[in-house]
Structure 1
């Protein structure tokens, strides 16, 4: 703006008043005699001082404004071709129709120093190798650190599988669909990054207890407690509804819905990420692909926030909390209401979206909050069949008059799983992750996690608000607590659960340590 030589000369003139200005040449044009030299220097001095003050003001304003918080969101379609196998029931069936499309829903946050990506995929469970491929592709294309991406499955039971044959085995050769999903996830992250814009962020919680019920029950009839290994459990998953043989649930529920919302500075919704500790709802027609209530939530919250027909589009996301032992069936109800296909999942999604929308009106939005992430790996031993289990299935395989089948309808399924476990690895390395968004903490666990684990993390977390996203960065089966292991039941059976019985204790300790580090470092 001002010639530095001129300002230097003027400064020198001020510092040395005894110098006769008439002996100095015009600093910008020595031949110009249109202005007497003393008058010229007075004008130039004024301009230099004004320029210095103006420049200083710019620096102070830049320092006062600080880093800019930004957010971006996008979706990628991950719907498979018809004919792919739908998993979620005991026996996979081919997809014959698509009721509603499946998506990877992506949110990227940037505090000016750290970028985080959170992606929820409409799938029952995606193995670590598929997520890792997606992260590597996104990182190679954008420079986003591998550890700063949290990728998870919603656990819809009406999507085709991206899993392999054994949850603890490394996937060395990915299927076409697995490769497709990885590419679409990385595409979604890249598009969300491209959509980054200045944003404000807020979060909150609200409760919806009417749709969460612990599905593990103590019962008074031992015939309801047989397991596929020839033994008797203490609790039963999904007992007969309204039965007089029901005693009490074997664990708690968590009715809390946590959510994070990002908006443009003028209040235009960009994305909303919610978390609810409820399993899939189901109620689909056989052979149909659906995102379950997770997909409907995205649609309903978009409508309630009046965020339709935007560019870029608003993205509503619902993640699965700790719901390994919770579904929406009230087993004590003797007269359950019957629902048409897709009716119940819409009912649940409407309730969750309505409650979030009500609470959304009260949250405080922040122009800037710090972001941080901790990521670690943990090695766990895999459970191995006992000699009694092996003997039991050997007898079943003989299936003669002296060794009749025990009659449990899942024996053959678990006999096959035990065979695979025997040939599988003796330990597994899992990824754990902890995120910080202001005074909100998010834990990421690659298992179907029991509710009491999520409640423990909320209770012991150093952050004001905390929630857990399950089936994140992998899919290794169910994760009962040591106490629930002692009670038995479907979620604890070897072949449903694959890792050591103390795994929950080790995982909680690791996550709490990461939370503490995040709090201390910021």
Structure 2
């Protein structure tokens, strides 16, 4: 009888034994923390985003580094999103190292990106805007500070995610034109497509690519329901429409404020305060102008970006309004550095560029031909290959890819469609800046985004190699989660 009782006891214990992953989760606590740091540049310094350098005359709204740290009890992930047009890997590597020293989070578990506002301080030498070394040092410290503060603000949390939609704010800006339409490029050739062809242009034929209307959202709140942070993603280049020489975070900053209002964060006595974050998706060929319209709408400064921010905040709010929050999910990170070729000018192209620059009135280049001749002389001194960082973060069944470029929307759509994680989205301009990333097919069409410069220099097969690596990293995550 004792033997039977013992066998029954063992059987009951085996049947009652939970799965190991759930047992681990039961003993762990999810934590989250968020914070911001002000990165507003000084008046009189350079604004990124134009082919001619513009100096800051006033500050319309402050620019920030917005940070979020997640901690599942075993693994920590950190996001820092900076209100900048782009930012170099060197600056971000400095920020990551400093943050690592004060938090212990591996630098491979830090994803730092730029929003791509065209009305912020210059953090990369692109076209005729050059960064102030003092501002770069300031940025590295402030990006690190935002992450460190978010780490120290961690509290027990619960998490939810969803995918909203906003179709009315994204349009492909590359267009096929009617046969016979001249499409000259600054290198003396002809393209097959035109960027920003003009609203109501009678020569418009069809867009050269798709759009992505998705608004993926990750939301964190305390165990009592107070909002901690919300990180969203949208594949829209930027909006613009500022006063001349004015600094603004564009719709990304306005979104951060508006989503807090919708979530009731302003009414909360919670400290530290809620942080809203909008990241840029794959928007290298996407903007906010409906080129097929009969005439272009006009707006007073800042009104259009506020409208976009409001619409995206509503879409984000709807995406998570009825979802269930989870008290714990596993976190993971994969990072890989790959080598890509650089499209270098040949001897003939260098000679032509030298002649054009020599004839320019200067010191500032004025025509597209002059500007790209100057860029050619920069690229001739680039190495034949560059190394770039690729990342994939896993948050439960959600995956986030990171690419250090202005990524064409087709690439992001392919990642979403073929990823083993649903949902999956991409944060572009992350962990450095390596110019535009068109597909090989889009390279063959030409157009602004393919014109060789510091803003577009990676080999034509770069997107193929990047996708191959990211799919492998996603598969690694999936294999480890099974």
Flag whether TM exceeds 0.5 (same fold). Answer: yes
Q: Which residue of 1 aligns with 2:70?
A: 109
Aligned-pair distance for 1:86? 0.7
Unaligned runs of 5+ in 1: 1-61, 401-407
Give, in whole Å, the separation in 2 of the partners of 1:95 and 1:291.
Answer: 13
CA contact (8 A) 2:50 2:127 kept: no
The residue number in structure 2 matching 1:121 is: 82
What CA distance in whole angstroms lies between the structure 2 residues aligned with 1:427 and 1:64? 44
Residue 245 (structure 2) pairs with residue 287 (structure 1): yes
Aligned-pair Cα RMSD in Å: 2.0
Counterpart Cα distance in 2 of 1:225 and 1:105: 41
The answer to whether the 8 A contact 1:224-1:236 is kept is no
Matches within 5 A, 1:148-297: 148-164=109-125, 175-220=133-178, 222-297=180-255
1-structure distance, mates of 2:325, 2:289? 36
Equivalence for 1:424: 382
Q: Distance in 2 between matches of 1:509 and 1:166?
A: 31
Q: Measure the CA separation in 1 of the matches of 2:70 and 2:297.
A: 42
Separation (CA, whole Å) in 2 of partners of 1:294 and 1:398? 41
Task: Show the counterpart of 1:311.
Answer: 271
Match of 1:506 among 465, 472, 476: 465
Q: Distance in 2 between matches of 1:397 and 1:265?
A: 62
Q: Deviations over 1:415-463 (max 9, x none)?
A: 0000011122111110110000000000000000000000000011010
The verdict on how the C-alpha distance between 1:166 and 1:292 changes in structure 2, with shifts beyond 3 A counting, is closer
**CA contact under 8 A between 2:25 and 2:329: conserved in structure 1?**
no
Query: CA offset at residue 390 of structure 1?
Result: 3.1
Q: Deviations over 1:264-295 (max 9, x none)?
A: 11111000000000011000000000000000
1:483 aligns with 2:441: yes
2:104 aligned residue: 143
Offset at residue 63 of structure 1 (A): 7.7
Deviation at 1:221, TM superposition (A): 6.1
TM-score (norm 2): 0.90
- Displacement after TM superposition at 1:206 (Å): 1.2
Assess, with a 3 A threshold, how the Cα gap between structure 1 residues 481 and 200 changes in structure 2: closer, same or farther.
same
Distance 2:145 2:458 in 1: 33
Task: Choose the corresponding residue for 2:38, options 55, 72, 77.
Answer: 77
Q: What is the CA–CA distance in structure 2 between the aligned matches of 1:256 and 1:307, rounded to whole Å?
A: 24
TM-score, normalization: structure 1?
0.84
| CA 1:76–1:399: 2 relative to 1, 3 Å | closer
> Which one of the candidate residues 494, 497, 503 is aligned to 2:456?
497
